[in-house]
Structure 1
Amino acid sequence: MPLALLALAIGAFGIGTTEFVIAGLLPEVAADFGVSIPTAGWLISGYALGVAAGAVPMTVLGSRMRRKHLLLLLMVVFIAGNAISALAPSYAVMMTGRIVAAFCHGAFFGIGSVVAADLVAPTKRASAIAFMFTGLTLANVLGVPMGTFLGQEFGWRSTFWAVVALGVIGFAGIAVLVPDLPRAASGGVLQELRVLRSGRVWLAVSMTVLGFGGVFASFTYVAPMMTEEAGFSEGAVSWLLVLFGAGLVLGNLLGGRFADRRLMLSLYLLLGGLAVVLAVFTLTATAPVPAAVTLFLLGAFGFATVPPLQMRVLDSAAAAPTIASAVNIGAFNVGNALAAWLGGLVISAGLGYTAPNWVGALMALGALLLAVVAGRLDRVPAAEATGAAVPVRVATPC
């Protein structure tokens, strides 16, 4: 893999760390600003909304820039947002910093996916995207625990200064290692936006909302599920999260390799496997060892879907992939928010902490059905044009 992918992965590591590490620092942040922990929790929601809201506008604003230059600009925004958070004298300023940092998130991963795919041979595009997303998965395994420890020992502001340093390293890596590739020929912003009228693009985006959202229906409530149902102590939850993160890393890399070989077949198998794991989790969540094993599998199958889902959107919007790619990154966050809300509803209805697993299973099954529809649509043009039998391999990455 080109060294340029390492630079993109470092940027992804910093962005993933700042997104998730705040969860481990809520008591410290709440005490410092004199707010309740639920109020401090809005710093997480504010970031998620910033990701969804900023993906397309940031991409459109930079549409006339070369992709490398836009990535550098996004890293500057990321550095500035985290510096604001580190210096924040009040909760409101802290929220502003979180939103500023979040605005670069969707565009960075959206444009980074396009750049990563362009850096390698056509048969390695999904693996290249997966390598970049490895930075995001490692953020859960390494960045969040280390950032939480740093914040608890030296104050939560030190964590955000460390993230600023990661942003500077990412900026330098992109500046030195990422080649200044020419932009693909397109009709500009209007051409990029026009691709959003495509039903196939929105079909692919909907698969992302349901497929990856299914993971968060369960994961959002993993702490009470593991303590109240499986019988783990509260102190064991952090190690369980590391186990989940290890599954994310493995699944991400394997998902990229599978997608390079057979994109649609990978989606069928991975989404189907995810639905099964979530359904089984409702049974295994009542015993410690089976619950831990299933949690690992949830991470593995869940993030294995990310490279093929992102690759599917790039294929569906091949003529103008940049904005469609950024929209799909926003779709991951929309799916997370929707799934967390639905999971909360079934818990509030008195169905127990394992009930969100059924919600996730149904969402993953819905994504699988959409994938089947997408696969059938892929066959239509070829069959109509040639009258020949439908080929086995479809939607090959171009």
Structure 2
Amino acid sequence: MPFALYFLALAVFVMGTSEFMLAGLLPAIATDLNVDVAAAGLLTSAFAISMAFGAPLMAALSRRLPERTTLLSCLLLFAISHATAALAPDYVLLLITRILGAVSNAGFLAVALNTATRLAPAHLKGRALAILLAGTSAATIAGVPAGTLLGAHVGWRSVFWVIGSLCLPAIVAVFMAVPVSRAAGAPADRAPQLITELAELFTPRLAGTMLLAALVNGGTFAVFTFIAPLVTTTAGLAEPWVPLVLVLFGLGSFAGITVAGRVSDRRPVAVLATGGPLLLAGWIALALLAERPAALLALVFAQGFLSFALGSTLIGQVIHAATGAPTMGGSYATMALNAGAALGPVLGGITLSAGFGLLAPVWVAALLVALAMLISLVAPQLLGPRPRR
């Protein structure tokens, strides 16, 4: 695999840490800024919504620019937004910085997804995406728990300072590793018109696959965003267990992405058809057994594995379905992921505020995955091409 993929994964690790880290910092942010936990959880939804809309916008603006120029600009804006967040005196300014950080993250990931699939051989595109998205799972293994521990001992603002600082080596790595000669996604003289690429969004295969990816990711984020109170209150574990649970989830997600990356190039339908029912069963089991610490820990690892195996495979299918949009395909995958990442915390926060209890986000996850399965049963062609007889 091209070495540039690993440097892109480093930058995705930094950005993924920022995207996920609020799961362990919500109580501290809510207390410091005098808002409730549900309102603090909306910071995650705002980040995801901004990524969902920012991905196609940034991809459209940068489609004629060199990949490296776009990637470096997004990293720089990301660093500035986090330095500002560390100084934010109130909830509104913190929300604005999260939106700016999300837009820059979206632009980076949209271009990086295209870059990864372009640099890899045709028969290894799934593995290339797995390497890139491994930065996300590494963020849940190391970045998010470390941020949670740092926030608990030094304060949540220190975590934003560290994320901003980590952008500097990522900027150097991308500058050195990513070639400058190519436009973002396709050579300028061969890329289709923007209107042609946007029209791909209305094709049933692409739109349907994006919907499936959004539903699965929505379930993941519905639980992940509110996992801290689930650990400390429902399971009755002490506060230091929260980062350990996040590590377990991250280890599961890393294993899931790794396995799916090696299988999805050859058997994407098998991964999706098997992983969907298992993921649904896992969310139901978690809702029923979360009060038992041992069961909670085992299921967190299992759900991390299944969520990211299924999610990364669906992302590969989105990019495969968007072959008619070479400069915008990565943004469509980013849009699908983050539409789910916005939907999940919103629905989880609504159910929490309505008084359905701390397990309500887990049931939301189960319902979203069940809906995805129902859609895939009604329209099985969305799961990908069937092998020829």
TM-score range, shorter chain: 0.7 to 0.9
Q: Does the residue aligned with 2:265 lie in a helix, a strand or coil?
A: helix
Instruction: Report the alpha carbon displacement of residue 79 of structure 1 after superposing the two structures with TM.
Output: 1.9
Is residue 332 from structure 1 mapped to residue 319 from structure 2 by the alignment?
Answer: no
Partner of 2:281: 276
- Check the 8 A contact 1:267/1:371 in 2, yes or no: no
- Check the 8 A contact 2:51/2:335 in 1, yes or no: yes
Is residue 189 from structure 1 mapped to residue 194 from structure 2 by the alignment?
Answer: yes
Q: Does the residue aligned with 1:261 lie in a helix, a strand or coil?
A: coil
Is residue 366 from structure 1 mapped to residue 361 from structure 2 by the alignment?
Answer: no
- Judged with a 3 Å threshold, the aligned counterparts in structure 2 of structure 1 residues 80 and 218 are, in CA distance, closer, same or farther, namely closer
Q: Which has the higher contact order (CA 8 A, sep 6+)?
A: 2
Instruction: Report the alpha carbon displacement of residue 302 of structure 1 after superposing the two structures with TM.
Output: 0.5
For the residues of structure 2 that align with 1:230 and 1:30, how far apart are their CA atoms? 22
- Check the 8 A contact 2:13/2:138 in 1, yes or no: yes
Deviations 1:322-344 (A, max 9, x none): 42431332322222332334445
- Judged with a 3 Å threshold, the aligned counterparts in structure 2 of structure 1 residues 232 and 309 are, in CA distance, closer, same or farther, namely same
- Judged with a 3 Å threshold, the aligned counterparts in structure 2 of structure 1 residues 280 and 40 are, in CA distance, closer, same or farther, namely closer
- Judged with a 3 Å threshold, the aligned counterparts in structure 2 of structure 1 residues 294 and 196 are, in CA distance, closer, same or farther, namely same
For the residues of structure 1 that align with 2:41 and 2:192, how far apart are their CA atoms? 42
Partner of 1:386: none
Partner of 1:319: 324
Partner of 2:10: 10
Q: Percent identity over the alignment?
A: 35
Q: 2:387 aligns with which of 389, 392, 397?
A: 392
For the residues of structure 2 that align with 1:251 and 1:338, how far apart are their CA atoms? 23
Deviations 1:253-310 (A, max 9, x none): 1121121221222221222221121222233324221221111101110011222111
- Judged with a 3 Å threshold, the aligned counterparts in structure 2 of structure 1 residues 260 and 181 are, in CA distance, closer, same or farther, namely farther
- Judged with a 3 Å threshold, the aligned counterparts in structure 2 of structure 1 residues 46 and 363 are, in CA distance, closer, same or farther, namely closer
Q: 1:289 aligns with which of 294, 304, 307?
A: 294
Deviations 1:7-26 (A, max 9, x none): 11111111112223345445
Instruction: Report the alpha carbon displacement of residue 206 of structure 1 after superposing the two structures with TM.
Output: 0.4
Q: Map of 1:371-386 to 2, 5 A cutoff? A: 371-372=376-377, 375-376=380-381
Deviations 1:347-385 (A, max 9, x none): 5666554454343233223223434555437899xxxxx
For the residues of structure 1 that align with 2:29 and 2:355, how far apart are their CA atoms? 32
- Judged with a 3 Å threshold, the aligned counterparts in structure 2 of structure 1 residues 156 and 227 are, in CA distance, closer, same or farther, namely closer
For the residues of structure 1 that align with 2:384 and 2:26, how far apart are their CA atoms? 50
For the residues of structure 2 that align with 1:188 and 1:205, how far apart are their CA atoms? 22
Give the TM-score normalised by structure 2. Answer: 0.87
Instruction: Report the alpha carbon displacement of residue 128 of structure 1 after superposing the two structures with TM.
Output: 1.0
Partner of 1:83: 83
- Judged with a 3 Å threshold, the aligned counterparts in structure 2 of structure 1 residues 152 and 218 are, in CA distance, closer, same or farther, namely closer
Is residue 244 from structure 1 mapped to residue 249 from structure 2 by the alignment?
Answer: yes
Q: Map of 1:15-26 to 2, 5 A cutoff? A: 15-26=15-26
Partner of 1:169: 169
Unaligned runs of at least 5 residues, structure 1: 381-390
Which is further off, 294-303 or 268-277?
Answer: 268-277
Unaligned runs of at least 5 residues, structure 2: none
Q: Does the residue aligned with 1:174 lie in a helix, a strand or coil?
A: helix
- Check the 8 A contact 1:275/1:365 in 2, yes or no: yes
For the residues of structure 2 that align with 1:7 and 1:13, how far apart are their CA atoms? 10
For the residues of structure 2 that align with 1:280 and 1:393, how far apart are their CA atoms? 37
Is residue 123 from structure 1 mapped to residue 130 from structure 2 by the alignment?
Answer: no
- Check the 8 A contact 1:243/1:296 in 2, yes or no: yes
- Judged with a 3 Å threshold, the aligned counterparts in structure 2 of structure 1 residues 370 and 322 are, in CA distance, closer, same or farther, namely farther
Instruction: Report the alpha carbon displacement of residue 222 of structure 1 after superposing the two structures with TM.
Output: 3.2
Q: Does the residue aligned with 1:333 lie in a helix, a strand or coil?
A: helix
- Check the 8 A contact 1:54/1:103 in 2, yes or no: yes
- Aligned residue-pair number: 383
- Judged with a 3 Å threshold, the aligned counterparts in structure 2 of structure 1 residues 23 and 216 are, in CA distance, closer, same or farther, namely closer
Partner of 1:60: 60
- Check the 8 A contact 1:29/1:156 in 2, yes or no: yes
For the residues of structure 2 that align with 1:225 and 1:104, how far apart are their CA atoms? 31
The code of the aligned residue for 1:85 comes to A
Partner of 1:384: none
Q: Does the residue aligned with 2:101 lie in a helix, a strand or coil?
A: helix
RMSD of aligned alpha carbons: 2.9
- Check the 8 A contact 1:79/1:167 in 2, yes or no: yes
Is residue 133 from structure 1 mapped to residue 130 from structure 2 by the alignment?
Answer: no
For the residues of structure 2 that align with 1:87 and 1:224, how far apart are their CA atoms? 26
Which is further off, 152-161 or 5-14?
Answer: 152-161
- Judged with a 3 Å threshold, the aligned counterparts in structure 2 of structure 1 residues 116 and 238 are, in CA distance, closer, same or farther, namely same
Q: Map of 1:24-103 to 2, 5 A cutoff? A: 24-26=24-26, 35-36=34-35, 38=37, 42-88=42-88, 91-103=91-103
The code of the aligned residue for 2:134 comes to T
Which is further off, 124-133 or 101-110?
Answer: 101-110
- Judged with a 3 Å threshold, the aligned counterparts in structure 2 of structure 1 residues 256 and 379 are, in CA distance, closer, same or farther, namely closer
For the residues of structure 1 that align with 2:197 and 2:328, how far apart are their CA atoms? 6
